[in-house]
Structure 1
């Protein structure tokens, strides 16, 4: 019997970056649908695969024994043809050899590993190397304190994450271990429309290979902005950390903030230190991002907004989530999900917020 023709996707659609690639490959692996993607990262300079994208593709291909063509740095076209369902209860390793984002490696692999015909099967394992706190990607602290709590609370899956070593630009060298037990049946639909008031703000302000005073300056500036935005100073608890040399590769700094609400929502803001940028500005940038994400009244922040789309598409039944204004990343995620699944999305938008509804496919392995 002839193999089915790959579904062709244009990688330049909408956001035209790596996110389109990650969602498409994860859905291809789960649904055993071969795909071909052209014009990869056409809206980036330079276009084509970077080493971190190639590492994510190789990881997904290993999980589902896919035939993978075009997986070279700079390639603008790939073909990904799964030959098996994802192979679970194993340990997989990925390493781009750069400071490429570990969080993005997890984005492509986690959906592949949470569905098993045997819900009592042992967990799958991931050993992911690269950058823990990279530019143009979620910091690993966001993954740990915002993304994974969302997955555990709303999807009934209980992954755990351990940061073994921090890795900073340009060397990378970080290492994160993730354990992924299988879901018990299809993912439940999510209804999340009432956020409730903020009850606490937590944070991690850090410096590695740099004076701790940078972390303290970021924390002080962030706290000042948050108090000026109307938050009670007694509810703000931001830790300052200077990484031990044995716990980090390279030098870097940054801050991640997350607000927990009485409705069980977690909303974040973050910023990375940059050479020539005052640490106080980094702290203010992170706090202003958090304040902006709180101001729209949504139940998820702008980063969780697009990361949840693949799970809404796979869930059983109708999901309904209140968010801030739709981002281009979210529109791209919805487009990819509708190309590869029968999920149906609808967004009701206003100037300040949106309601995302999705009739999911109730995917089971």
Structure 2
């Protein structure tokens, strides 16, 4: 049985989620200790416990230690997931996006399935729904992994209550895309979103400030999308995403609104993140850099390719942690991170 130290690297929920996902894919049992040891509230919190129970449900896993605040867990998967509709409710504003990414690979690499996920959809410290739809999924589609998501209701902090639907077919064709050097934005999109109980002028001010900041840098957005959406808690967001001229690479940058934070600042901050990324002249932004390590690893071992590499705007603890963890489940893979933490660098995924 694999023994995983949950305090390694970023020491948060990522170590647990990646271990669960890969354990189900390969049928490898594991024990994880020191779960979320580096966090203010260590151990399993509601969103992590939902991930554990969801992975256990789809794989018929035996569990030990699956309770709130537990810092140790034994997970023994018993079967491959079957194609059906699964419903999981986090019951807090915990991230549905992170739950989706945890379940994506076990379902895609078996018979596929449909997910109904309830919880947070636009919350801090996780990719919002729009990032999944417009950045993450289109990029992994270039690897042959296809999935569709739709948003029925937004979930902002603190109540959550959002609902997303995901349809995941079996992953049948594995390929590795060709990334052009750097990132040359061909199309830029502004999405300004607010809950329907907030005044429309917030929506417009967010979008206007984002557009003005882009135009100052001679970057013309192709489209501005203004969305009002149902939610239990009030919330706002600006999401900037861009498609590279190679038609494969995408980047996305999020700023969530909050009480006392001017709408103009929300728009400006989202654009500022985009501009900072462009200055690095790298291919992949820091969040996607660690999120695509798993699907690229699968594409390499299934496609008999020897390696794949890309540059990233920032080497994060999340990236270093994934590079350490994935090869423990996928023995054929070696992941090298060239550069210093906090700086831009290069990621190399190699077949041993």
Smaller-chain TM-score bracket:
over 0.9
1:94-243 matches, within 5 Å, as 94-116=88-110, 123-153=112-142, 155-184=143-172, 187-208=174-195, 209-228=197-216, 230-233=217-220, 235-243=221-229
Q: Following the alignment from structure 1 to structure 2, what is the Cα–Cα distance between the partners of residues 284 and 177?
A: 31
Contact 2:94–2:119 (8 Å) recurs in 1: yes
Contact 1:90–1:125 (8 Å) recurs in 2: yes
TM-score normalised per structure 1? 0.89
Confirm or deny that 1:323 pairs with 2:317. no
SS of residue paired to 1:315: helix
Structure 2 gaps of 5+ residues are none
Structure 2 match to 1:256: 239
Report which stretch shifted further, 188-197 or 56-65: 188-197
Q: Following the alignment from structure 1 to structure 2, what is the Cα–Cα distance between the partners of residues 345 and 222?
A: 37
Confirm or deny that 1:357 pairs with 2:348. yes
TM-score normalised per structure 2? 0.92
Structure 1 match to 2:261: 277
Alpha carbons of structure 1 residues 352 and 76: separation in structure 2 relative to 1, 3 Å = closer
Contact 2:324–2:335 (8 Å) recurs in 1: no
Displacement after TM superposition at 1:328 (Å): 1.1
Alpha carbons of structure 1 residues 168 and 11: separation in structure 2 relative to 1, 3 Å = same
After the TM superposition, list the runs of 4 or more consecutive aligned residues in structure 1 that deviate by more than 6 angstroms.
none
Equivalent pairs, count: 343
1:296-335 matches, within 5 Å, as 296-316=280-300, 317=305, 318-335=307-324
Contact 1:267–1:294 (8 Å) recurs in 2: no
Displacement after TM superposition at 1:232 (Å): 2.9
SS of residue paired to 1:214: helix
